[in-house]
Amino acid sequence: MKSDDTLLLPILEWPHPILRSPAQPIERFDQALTDRIEQMWHIMYHAPGIGLAAPQIADPRRLFVMDCGGRVSDPRPLVCANPNIIRAEGELDSTEGCLSFPELSVVVPRAASITLRAQDELGTWFVIELEGLEAVCAQHEIDHLEGRSFLDLLEPLERSATLHSYIEGLRGSNTVTSQETISRAEPLLAEYLMLALK
């Protein structure tokens, strides 16, 4: 059994290039994938979070894990490889955080319920109905697999203001990671501002 330290990997901060690129389909369902899923559970619970997509730990594959335990009445850990939403209904305003956006919270529109088709850790296809927080969490993680973030769901002006606040929040931290994140985010802020002012 691996130690806790070897299971932990850093969570990439947006806009790391991996987080802005579409993930690749999983083709091999083997022990290496099982080990990766175990690692993802450990990282997600340790963070703590309710969902984690593989690109967030620099693994560019279509895979996420989620568990809304403690926030819904019947928690159910869920592994989704190569997921696709085949039905989406209703709409709600979702207040969301993200492990790749430290200290940031954003209100975005989401479908209230979805039907999700995916493969489990063995490669078996399944279809599941999700509602409320579970539906929101799955949509959030699938966005990561598409190279999107919740900022992409905002109107241009709000997106610019939110990114500006995010960058300003990072300035208070003197870590190398924060400085790298700022250097990647500032050019995007300029792009967002130009779009907002068109």
The predicted structure's pLDDT at residue 9: 92
89 is catalytic: no
Across 105-117, average pLDDT: 97
Question: Do 128 and 191 reside in the same domain of the chain?
Answer: no
The predicted structure's pLDDT at residue 75: 66
> Residue 8's domain is classified under what CATH number?
3.90.45.10
């529109």: which residue's tokens? Answer: 109
pLDDT band at 1 (very low <50, low <70, confident <90, very high): very low
Tally of CA atoms within 13 A in the half-sphere of 16 that contains its CB: 19
Mean pLDDT of the residues in the chain: 93
Across 76-101, average pLDDT: 97
For residues 160-186, one letter each, b for 16 or more C-beta atoms within 10 angstroms of the residue's C-beta and e for the rest, the string is bbbbeebbeebeeeeeeebeebbebbe
In percent, the amount of the chain with pLDDT more than 70 equals 94
Across 84-113, average pLDDT: 97
With a cut of 80, say whether residue 7 has pLDDT above it: no
Rounded alpha-carbon distances, angstroms, from residue 85 to 59, 61, 81: 21, 17, 12
With a cut of 60, say whether residue 2 has pLDDT above it: no
pLDDT band at 197 (very low <50, low <70, confident <90, very high): confident
The predicted structure's pLDDT at residue 141: 98
The predicted structure's pLDDT at residue 129: 97
d(CA 55, CA 141): 10
Task: Please state the domain count of the chain.
Answer: 2
Question: Do 27 and 110 reside in the same domain of the chain?
Answer: yes
Catalytic pick from 27, 96, 141, 168? 141
90: alpha, beta or left, given left = phi > 0 and alpha = psi -120 to 50? left
Element (H, E) at 126: strand 125-131
Question: Do 16 and 74 reside in the same domain of the chain?
Answer: yes
pLDDT band at 50 (very low <50, low <70, confident <90, very high): very high
Across 117-125, average pLDDT: 98
Question: Do 74 and 25 reside in the same domain of the chain?
Answer: yes
Question: Do 110 and 163 reside in the same domain of the chain?
Answer: no
The predicted structure's pLDDT at residue 134: 94
Question: Do 138 and 188 reside in the same domain of the chain?
Answer: no
- Look up the domain containing 71 and give its range: 4-148
Across 100-123, average pLDDT: 97
Question: Do 80 and 14 reside in the same domain of the chain?
Answer: yes
The predicted structure's pLDDT at residue 71: 56
Question: Do 78 and 136 reside in the same domain of the chain?
Answer: yes
Across 23-37, average pLDDT: 97
Question: Do 8 and 86 reside in the same domain of the chain?
Answer: yes
pLDDT digits (tens, 9 = 90+) for 64-81: 999 997 655 666 899 999
Question: Do 86 and 162 reside in the same domain of the chain?
Answer: no
Question: Do 103 and 34 reside in the same domain of the chain?
Answer: yes
Question: Do 76 and 122 reside in the same domain of the chain?
Answer: yes
